[in-house]
Amino acid sequence: MTGRFHRGLIAVERGVAVVLLVATFTVILLQVFTRYVLGDPLSWTEELARFLLVWLAFVAAGYCTAERLHISVDLLLARLGRRAGAVVDTFANVAVVVAAGALAVAGAAFAADSTGLRAPATGLPMAVVYGAGALGFALVVLHGAGNAVHNLRRPEDVPGAMESAEREGA
């Protein structure tokens, strides 16, 4: 999947992850400042930082799936040829899609069931907080399925052991 929509979605995921990381860092700095400098901590900063971190983890999971940056054990892939490596990678992507799909559906149901709940310190609807899991797993499904389809169409393009990490670090 290398179309314009896909590249745009990946760029949005990356941008949102960066914003969430900066926001988490800022809220934590605010908490440290108010607690240790002013001696009067704000009650909502710890809760908000936790919620931002949850959203960051799930959005970044989708981005990492799109860029094939998740932690993996490449011992088998390093010993296999390109075609066999593509088969193993496709099987792994299909397994991830099935598991993440089930978790996305369960996460959406859980978020829907919690619509009346509010966080104690911030007052945020818990459905927004729990919705992070549903969205994150849905992104993993989308990108995992795209990776599997790409593997089937162009097995010669499947990255070998460490190629995704090396490409991203360059």
pTM of the model: 0.87
Give the model's pLDDT for residue 168.
57
Interatomic CA distance for residues 157 and 151, integer angstroms: 7
Give the model's pLDDT for residue 85.
81
Give the model's pLDDT for residue 170.
52
Give the model's pLDDT for residue 3.
82
Q: Is the dihedral of CA 152, 157, 158, 160 positive or negative?
A: positive
State the SS3 of 82-138: HHHHHHHHHHHHHHHHHHHHHHHHHHHHHHHHCCCCECCCCCCEHHHHHHHHHHHHH
Interatomic CA distance for residues 1 and 147, integer angstroms: 7
Interatomic CA distance for residues 33 and 44, integer angstroms: 14
Is 20 in contact with 61 (CB distance < 8 Å)? no
Tell me the domain boundaries of the chain: 4-169
102, two tokens: 């089930």
Interatomic CA distance for residues 65 and 104, integer angstroms: 15
| Mean pLDDT split into 10-residue runs, the chain, 170 residues | 84 98 98 95 95 98 92 74 83 95 97 95 95 97 94 78 56
Give the model's pLDDT for residue 160.
64
Give the model's pLDDT for residue 28.
97
